[in-house]
Amino acid sequence: MKKILIIGAGFLQSFVIKKAKEIGYYTIAIDKNPNSLGFKYADEYGVVDIVDQQACLKFAKEKKVDGVMTAATDYGVLSTAFIAQQMNLPGIKYDTAKVVKNKYLVRHLLYEKKIDDISQYYEISDIEDLSGIIENIHYPVMVKPCDGSGSKAVKRANSKNELKDACTEAINASLIKKALIEDFIDGKEYGVDSFIYNGEVYVLGVMGKYMTSPPDYAELGHMMPSNLDIESRLREIVKNAVQVLGINFGAVNMDVLVTKENRVCIVDVGARMGGNLIGSHIIPIKTGIDYMGSIIKASVGDEIDLSVKNPQPCVATKVLALKPGKIAGLPDFNAIQEECKVVVYHHLEIGDTIRAYHNNLDGCGYVLAISEDRRKAIENVELARKLIDDGVVRVSYL
């Protein structure tokens, strides 16, 4: 039995762990949180900080794993690449992973190689760095941690003062203490997942995205098909971007903005499958391709099969972004699933506190619908989300 190490064991990784077991691998999961949900499903687990590359490598060597992967979290990407390279296992090149993990380096390459045309971009490590550039900046700009994820500390700035505040926040939220400033693009957002295998780039799916209203820029859900009329051009751009970035292996998730004039800008690249059920559910269900299974198998060097099996016409999801409060009672999820023809995945528990939804970590789970009719799928997930929100009883302190 081959042993696979899965880096990260939270709610979204638990789907990967289950799947790897189902395929027949011996699964070992690591996460620094000793109460990680995914540990329940793994054959074995270790409490290891997934950002600590040396600690992860030491663990992987001790366990003599045959493959390593991470999914749906950006924090594990570097450790995964590091282990794969050091232990000579299938994986993305470590140097490439380092470039992809830095939004400034990605932006620079995409511009230099003419993949997109965002020409105003700066990297700063200190608020003092602003003094040299602040007079030249054209607003509005977007500011984000260079190594951020889940939309944390991503802010639009329309003026000098807003820029200073946004930079301070982004630097503080960054592990490497760096922020990226770039042009703000006014466009519709799409998610694209690709899989790179044997030198081929397979663009598996383009998803339409729901986002929160400003000032937050967090994902609220996805739908497929995207109904984007330039989808084939977007797929070509994504393939070129993968090549330019040098990504040689595995899953890649991108966030792309498309303006009214059909200008295409890639604003985020992750060397891993998309979170928010993209890799585990949306792409596999809509395309009929076993995306997650293929990533898992490719990670241990086994044959993969990208053939289409039972694709579905339309898929929509909504994040359980709920009103804040301490949970005193839960709705009847089965009744909601039946009424709205959806599936609910949640981690709500009585006694837990729901936070106001500002970024991905504030979500409480997902609702997913499959339908012949795209609009119906979208309506169903939104109705179910609302029924769950209204059905959660919150503690009243009055």
Ligand X SMILES: Nc1ncnc2c1ncn2[C@@H]1O[C@H](COP(=O)(O)OP(=O)(O)O)[C@@H](O)[C@H]1O
**Which CB sits closer to ligand X, 31 or 183?**
183
Choices 47-55, 177-185, 324-332, 342-350 (CB under 6 A): range interacting with ligand X: 177-185
- Nearest-Å Rg of the Cα atoms of the chain is 21
Strands 188-197 and 219-224: what pairing?
unpaired
| Cis amide bond preceding 324, omega within 30 | no
Contact with ligand X (CB under 6 A) among 46, 67, 148, 274 = 148
Contact with ligand X (CB under 6 A) among 45, 122, 184, 195 = 184
Q: With binding defined as CB under 6 A, does residue 191 bind ligand X?
A: no
68: its two tokens? 């390593």
Phi, psi of 167 (to 5 degrees): -65, -45
**Which CB sits closer to ligand X, 218 or 384?**
218
Number of residues this chain uses to bind Mg ion (CB under 5 A): 2
Taking 3-state DSSP, the helix, strand and coil percentages for the chain, each rounded to the nearest 5, stand at 35, 25, 35
**Which CB sits closer to ligand X, 29 or 266?**
266
CB 2 within 8 A of CB 67: yes
Q: Rounded to the nearest whole angstrom, what is the least distance from the CB of residue 189 to ligand X in the complex?
A: 5
Q: Where are the alpha helices (DSSP H) in the chain?
A: 11-23, 53-63, 77-86, 94-100, 103-112, 160-173, 231-245, 283-287, 291-299, 333-340, 374-391
User: Comparing C-alpha atoms, which of 330, 325, 343 is closest to residue 388?
Assistant: 330
CA–CA separation, 53 and 79 (whole Å): 5
> What residues does 192 pair with on adjacent strands?
206, 254
Q: What are the CA-CA distances from residue 327 to residues 333, 352, 357, 392, 395 (Å)?
A: 15, 6, 15, 7, 6
**Which CB sits closer to ligand X, 96 or 120?**
120
Contact with ligand X (CB under 6 A) among 55, 134, 173, 211 = 211
Choices 48-56, 206-214, 264-272, 358-366 (CB under 5 A): range interacting with Mg ion: 264-272
Q: With binding defined as CB under 6 A, does residue 154 bind ligand X?
A: yes
**Which CB sits closer to ligand X, 64 or 260?**
260
CB 345 within 8 A of CB 277: yes
CB 140 within 8 A of CB 156: yes
Q: With binding defined as CB under 6 A, does residue 8 bind ligand X?
A: no
Q: Rounded to the nearest whole angstrom, what is the least distance from the CB of residue 122 to ligand X in the complex?
A: 13
Q: Rounded to the nearest whole angstrom, what is the least distance from the CB of residue 268 to ligand X in the complex?
A: 3
Q: Where are the alpha helices (DSSP H) in 260-301?
A: 283-287, 291-299
Q: Which does 31 bind (CB under 5 to 8 A by kind): ligand X, Mg ion, none?
A: none
Q: With binding defined as CB under 5 A, does residue 268 bind Mg ion?
A: yes
Q: With binding defined as CB under 5 A, does residue 255 bind Mg ion?
A: yes
Q: Rounded to the nearest whole angstrom, what is the least distance from the CB of residue 224 to ligand X in the complex?
A: 17
Q: Rounded to the nearest whole angstrom, what is the least distance from the CB of residue 12 to ligand X in the complex?
A: 14
Contact with ligand X (CB under 6 A) among 71, 72, 142, 224 = 142
**Which CB sits closer to ligand X, 60 or 252?**
252
Number of residues this chain uses to bind ligand X (CB under 6 A): 19
Contact with ligand X (CB under 6 A) among 130, 241, 267, 368 = 267
Q: Which does 348 bind (CB under 5 to 8 A by kind): ligand X, Mg ion, none?
A: none
Reported residue count of the chain is 398
DSSP letters along 246-261, please? T--SEEEEEEEEE-TT
3-state secondary structure of 380: helix
Give the residues lining the site for ligand X (CB under 6 A). Answer: 142, 144, 148-152, 154, 182-185, 189, 211, 217, 255, 257, 267-268
